[in-house]
Structure 1
């Protein structure tokens, strides 16, 4: 077992048995510029505290895994240059080489499980990229959901992805995909992808109970809780469709590939929507943090 650095707040919460919610750090290093990135991270942490849980933002700093960041560490990460974007394949190498890295969904799940944290709030998961039948570009997030027992709260899959294929891969891997409070699977900035969700649950207690039952049955992996963006913050899918198509065409024309694809597309969409996509992104992350805190409380109460 590796040595983990816990922030004072996270360490105290673990000792007291308080509900914890893991948070990724790529939204800080690869999602938006300083100081907006740090301001948003602090706002999301504040939502979790207001809901009766404790946030644990996860990152690798100088070769050490941190679960929970102090204000100073968060500021330094928000301004750092050349931060690696870590997934399962390169997480261990970053730790071993003394590097600094921000955790994606997959890496955050791994770290949360190592730290005994059962609930994780993010924006949207990665998935099957459009054109994956020739590029084979499929996010490691999907495989991680199939093997690491963490409940992940997201606003569905990112709308830039091939959502039908993403759902097919999750089904084949045996990952429970649970829409919260509706029957449709949400699509990040939009409340509906036009596809039905495999499962629906309407309370944090139901979601926590389902995870406990999977563990009792010896089933591996986590759960994906697809939490729709609030009505007042969504961008309708019909408005986004031509913007996403243009972004994908630009990425292909410029030869963008691998880990560079998602940041490129999100930046293109940000400018095309005059910042509306980022505003929606911040709103949905806060909304997911709120639900994740409720699930973490339900886990803690169930014991």
Structure 2
């Protein structure tokens, strides 16, 4: 049996049948600089509470899988150095070693499902990296969506990825990709893209019903809800696209490859946008948390 450590708040919510929303922890340890990481973590948890649900930030701490963190645990994780980044391949080893690690989208889905949490809100999912036809670099998030029955709310795949190939892999694996309230897919920092959405739903009740019906049909895996960043906070594609190309070209010229590419490119985009990318990132994460809470509430009533 897995030793799931429920925070007091999550334990109370589960005992009463209150709606829960899972949150990943790599956004705290790897996704944002200090002190914004802890500030945003608190804001996102607060947004979920205000929307009528309970946040459950997931992490491994000293070999225990935590479902929900106390304020002190959240602060300690935000300040910690050299925290492991855990996906499906790493999760069990970290637990076996008694280590501490932050969960990615894939690992958070696994843990949420173990804890009986059906909804997970994040920023953007991983996907197919540019040049994957040579590198075969495809995020473990995509097959996880095909395997684990959790509804994931995001702002699309991260815009530095190959978005058409990411969509193709999701379709091949039978993952429902649902645009929320629009007919094309959002592209993380941008509310729209040139990619038409395979599916569209316009309210949380419909998304919750689709989640229930997938289970009733015996279909494996979850569903991906692509929630556009609010228009007031977005960086339009026409502005962002050349900056992404510049950052990728700089990475190539400097011989940066593999897992080092993404953090380098994200940092350069932060610099090239004069911080607007971080402001947009915060806005979209909070927006996704609010929608996640609405879906969790709808699920708790169905």
TM-score range, shorter chain: over 0.9
Aligned residue for 2:235, secondary structure, equals: coil
Q: Deviations over 1:24-82 (max 9, x none)?
A: 01110011222210010000000000000000000111111111000110111001000
Distance, in Å, in 1 between the alignment partners of 2:295 and 2:149 is 14
Matches for 1:255-270 after TM superposition, within 5 Å = 255-270=255-270
Matches for 1:46-57 after TM superposition, within 5 Å = 46-57=46-57
Match of 1:295 in 2: 295
Distance, in Å, in 2 between the alignment partners of 1:15 and 1:59 is 21
Aligned residue for 1:52, secondary structure, equals: coil
Q: Deviations over 1:210-248 (max 9, x none)?
A: 111111111100000000000100000010111100111
Deviation at residue 193 of structure 1 after TM alignment:
1.6
Task: Give the TM-score of the pair, scaled to structure 2.
Answer: 0.98
Match of 2:272 in 1: 272
Cα root mean square deviation, aligned = 0.9
Aligned residue for 2:129, secondary structure, equals: coil
Structure 1 residues 67, 127: CA separation in 2 closer, same or farther (over 3 Å shift)?
A: same
Distance, in Å, in 2 between the alignment partners of 1:259 and 1:3 is 30
Residues 1:141 and 2:141 are matched in the alignment:
yes
Match of 1:253 in 2: 253
Match of 1:8 in 2: 8
Matches for 1:201-212 after TM superposition, within 5 Å = 201-212=201-212
Match of 2:164 in 1: 164
Unaligned runs of 5+ in 2: none
Deviation at residue 257 of structure 1 after TM alignment:
3.3
Aligned residue for 2:59, secondary structure, equals: strand
Deviation at residue 125 of structure 1 after TM alignment:
0.5
Aligned residue for 1:57, secondary structure, equals: strand
Distance, in Å, in 1 between the alignment partners of 2:47 and 2:178 is 22
